[in-house]
Structure 1
Amino acid sequence: MKHDRPRAGRTASAWLLIFMLSLPAFLPACSPREAEARRIVLSCDIAGEPFVSAAQTAEITVMWLAGGVYVALDPRTVRWTVEASYVSAKAWARSDRTLLNGLYWGKSAPSLSASENDRSKMEGTPPTGARAFLTDIVGERKVTVKAVTTIGGQTYEATTEVHFGPGPLAAFAGPPHGASTWREAVKACGGTWDVDMSGYYQPQTRLPTEEQLYAVAGRSRYGAAHAAGWRDDAYGSGFFLYWTGKACGDGDDQDVRIISLYDGAVEWYYYLMKDWYHWYPDSADGAPVVVCVP
């Protein structure tokens, strides 16, 4: 008959386990709960609200959270970077929506009067301190911002997403393209026009107003169209001439308002246009550019 062996005592491994469990709780450098309680926290003062001007500035702050209490950080220890950007605006004309054109450190942005090159790096000096300001002129943009700081010899980092709301580019249905005549521009946008034109804006053309184009022009504004990579005409005038939905005249003779995006000043012109007349007869692409509105 089989009998159980008598228990001679605890094994060596059992005694080791008991010893480890009896060690003081403060021996580890940082318990998981402590690590979770000590961190830096980022906050932002905007969350996708529409622009109230031609640019929008976000203020991002970083605080040290220890034991449920927020503590101000030594500003000399904080470093800021932009980790990623994505533009969802339909009027963005660049091939890469992750480019940083139109995004700047600080409370202001330069005014653009011509298209920038594709920009994959932030311009300007990154801020220092517990607050960072980030200005966007494009709109409908999501930016990932990271703050890094060193406390007691240990490095902490945190990221947050900044959501810039709809800007002046949101007025447009898509990126621009060429059109030889005003009527071709209207047709390209799926619009129509009145036979009798009295010099008023015709919304049914689905061409933009002067004000909508001024809002994305350069100089007195920030030039969101240039940040978004809007094209000049094939002639390369440098004035970035764009059709509006405002025309006057009867029959084939129309005076059509076009706007220069080179600057935001009063630089508009009337031109005599006919269906058979192209802006530059040897190049249809040399005509003013069309951008549609919804």
Structure 2
Amino acid sequence: MLRLLNIEYYKLKYNKASRVLIIIYFALLSLMSLFATIKFNIGPIKFHLAELGIFNFPYIWHFNTFVASLLKFFLLLVIVSMVANEYSNKTIKQNLIDGLSKKEFILSKFYCVIALSLISTFFVFVVSLILGFIYSSYTELTIVFSDLEFLIAFFVKLLGFFSFGLFLGMLIKRSAFAVAAMVVLFLIEIISYGIVCGINKGTELADRIYQFLPFKSLWNLIDEPGSRLSAVKEVAAQIGEDLSYDYSVRWYEIAIVLAWTALFIFLSYRLLKKRDL
């Protein structure tokens, strides 16, 4: 495993575009702290995001993992270009000539996906911990380390998303077309979801069906955190809206994404095994 990871490390190290994208991604994750400085002063109305409690423990784990997951597209570009470059530079053929089996080649990419997902999760954990201890009103350890399942959901979300990108990169062999294919598949899924909702005049049936599809299953891992804020609930209550939702991470949603991850990696291997290089 370490040998395969080392191979991928050197490939990323000497790829300027990948280095830039990785730096941008982690820089943007670091900038989550800027939410604490955002203030709006409109006449007598003063609005400070940090005072809304977005950095309170344990809410911060939910909020930061949700925001960080929106930035995963940058690492997707790294994964897809990493695969596409193997074909364009013909390094995949050279790796196989040098003794790397096709199974080891796919495993090296998957280990890289796992490593990037783990590093991202740890980075979000550290940033959230620092922001929480600075701004949170609650710093008891039992509160601080509750709701950590959102970090698990974040890791699984990245793992599934990047594995999807790896599969499309293997299938299409061109990074731009692979990313475009993912966008098209996303649009097809979200438009068809809207159509099903419209036909049935509600989301219940669509949610039951689409929870098993790739993008919806990824989205379901971490629900939007905005409506969980007490200030938002108070405003909703005043207009007669009930925002009492279940925001917990559910085991079967993690299982669905892990099943997709396994399928994407298996299909990537099958593609490579049958392809004449």
TM-score past 0.5 threshold: no
Please identify which structure carries the higher strand content.
1
Greater CA radius of gyration, 1 or 2?
A: 1
- Identify the structure with bigger relative contact order (alpha carbons < 8 Å, sequence gap 6+): 2
TM-score by length of 1: 0.23
